[in-house]
Structure 1
């Protein structure tokens, strides 16, 4: 299927929230209070545990109306991915009464060791799963006190932070001001397009976790700006030099991405472990030929798919009047969404890449080769 083909049927699917975060970050505490809220009363919860004896499901208190499934004795992202796919396929009929499905939303709480990418892959690539479910957002919980150390030591935590749509920071009451500020700056460098929210003793309104994906954004233009993160950064300043013939695209460094942090705040140490995972943002100042961009996306995802953690874009495609939103995870792409109108007054394309060990120069060089003519 073409990255830019909007002809595919877009039937209403069950929104899925992927709740992740490293061991001890506070996922179960968060989930317990979420499912007590009325907006989650018809949510189905899948809890993944690692090890022969599961504990998290015993600590989890389901709401009166909600349902719970436990996937145990394996990590959801690797050894029991087939179990997850089967569970998702079965849930549609298993939790139905008299032909009516008894849940309207799905929450998957992963083990703290899970890499989100294979789980998202299951949601998107399994035909019988993708027919019924749509990823609504990846929510990652970070511990304010130990989060920076965790990012130093564990690749899984880095990938969880890098792929998040929403970063929830817990335990600020036991963290120092310096620890909290250092973690926020570091998360902003790893994933500048994710919203950061400080939790008060693990509490947040459930609605803040909903509607993070693109399936329902066709008329919500302001949400696209937030989803891209860097949408407000493109201005005619010395920080956006022309890189290709005809000013086809301008450079927007990850350090310049809109993050909500103070502009005077020092940047994180570039020699930290998270130097492997980076956000790269590009702005295209002229309409793009769809065939050229599609050829380029096919090339980089086939060669670098495993390390291309997420791709987000709002595109001005030549011959189209309305903007097209694309979203990819590794080498898979969601069906594109066409917006009703351009957000703001400026009409230009934006592409955001979150990558592991892919130099920005590689993206710049290949972009110029494909699109600069």
Structure 2
């Protein structure tokens, strides 16, 4: 069995503890097969200088820009170079590559830039840090929602500087913005770092690894969770066009998409998206899905907007869940 490499996108606002979290992980783990890429904005790459103090960790830096926009061409090249040089050296392949993004990065944009590397077979996870002792300004809320909403794992940091009640309030806040994310609340720096990075990656670039299921809700007034269902089989070209319209129309307001689509002819597709990036759909024909079920999480969106984008696939049932509403459940299909 070929060992896959986990690729972790580490995001979070400036000062939320990304470098501290990563440094703690490198200090307490076997880093012989770990590589780090640091993206910093500015003439002096401070984060790269801090992490370079770790012995034995291959380090690459991307400076003076944001990987989700101006440096999208540099990131795939850097990753490919790391993997290629490792192979040519005769050493064992990396088991994990960690990209520490700048505080301005949108994880969805990073995911789009990684699409070119699907052939490497890496499994991708987004980890976002959230500082319990700091409040993001209202004008920065849209970026915060993108970072938290995209996360598979949300790590509460700076817990030693606040009260237990403030930690609980922070956990409630991030859950309202990232209802699909797993929240890590650990006071020990080592335990927090291991919980953040030593878990199986969630979103393969080339091969989806799990069937979605669970209960998702938002208690934030600006974050809405839409449950979409169709009781009839759907034509794939219409579904693909709708997903494209969804990404184009909502733009940065689209945070997560996840679910199953039952196509004409009986095929079942797994759909997963972070921001405007959608993983390549995978057929799950061993499953018996009674209906198509998708969960779409958006910022500042209305139910009517979602419905109006899908005139070519009628019969859609939509229910929205936001502050004060009951949780929605994405039904798990039966195995044969």
TM-score of the superposition, structure 2-length normalised? 0.78
Equivalent residues in 2 for 1:1-373 (5 A)?
14-38=5-29, 40-60=31-51, 65-98=56-89, 102-124=93-115, 127=116, 129-132=117-120, 134-146=122-134, 149-150=135-136, 152-154=138-140, 155-202=142-189, 203-204=191-192, 205=194, 208-214=198-204, 220-221=210-211, 224-225=212-213, 229-230=215-216, 254-255=217-218, 267-268=219-220, 270=221, 275=222, 277-320=223-266, 323-339=268-284, 341-342=286-287, 347-367=290-310, 370-372=313-315
Write the deviation string for residues 223-273 of structure 1: whole angstroms up to 9, x where unpaired: x325xx53xxxxxxxxxxxxxxxxxxxxxxx44xxxxxxxxxxx44x2xxx
CA-to-partner distance for each residue in 1:270-304, whole Å, 9 max, x for gaps? 2xxxx2x5432324444444343233223333444
Residue of structure 2 in register with 1:245 after alignment: none
Query: Is the CA contact (8 Å cut-off) linking 1:138 and 1:166 kept in structure 2?
Result: yes
Task: Mark the runs of 5 or more structure 2 residues left unpaired by the alignment.
Answer: 317-336
Q: Within 2, Cα distance between the matches of 1:16 and 1:282?
A: 30
Q: Secondary structure at the match of 2:240?
A: helix
Preserved CA contact (<8 Å) 1:26 1:143:
yes
Maintained 8 Å contact 1:13/1:131: no
Q: Which moved more, 1:160-169 or 1:325-334?
A: 325-334
How many pairs were matched up?
311
Write the deviation string for residues 55-87 of structure 1: whole angstroms up to 9, x where unpaired: 222322666553111222333333333322321
Q: Secondary structure at the match of 1:370?
A: coil
Q: CA deviation at 1:135?
A: 5.0
Alpha-carbon spacing, 1:62–1:133, altered in 2? closer, same or farther (3 Å): farther
Question: Do 1:190 and 1:279's aligned partners in 2 also have CA atoms closer than 8 Å?
Answer: no
What CA RMSD, in Å, does the superposition of the two structures yield over aligned residues? 3.2
User: Structure 1: which 5+ residue stretches go unaligned?
Assistant: 1-10, 231-253, 256-266
Whole-angstrom CA distance in 2 between matches of 1:304 and 1:12: 37
Partner SS state of residue 296, structure 2: strand
Contact 2:108 2:274 in 1 (8 A): yes
Distance in 1, Cα, partners of 2:136 & 2:229 = 33
Q: Which moved more, 1:70-79 or 1:193-202?
A: 70-79
1:201-233 per-residue CA deviation (whole Å, 9 max, x = no partner) reads 333325644322256986755xx325xx53xxx
The C-alpha deviation readout for 1:159-179, integer Å capped at 9, x for no partner, is 211211111111223223443
Give how far 1:356 is off.
3.6
Query: Paired residue for 1:241?
Result: none
- In 2, distance between residues paired with 1:324 and 1:122? 23
User: Secondary structure of the residue that 1:150 maps to in structure 2?
Assistant: coil
CA offsets, 1:178-206, max 9 Å, x none? 43333222222222111111122333325
Change (3 A) 1:111 1:209: farther
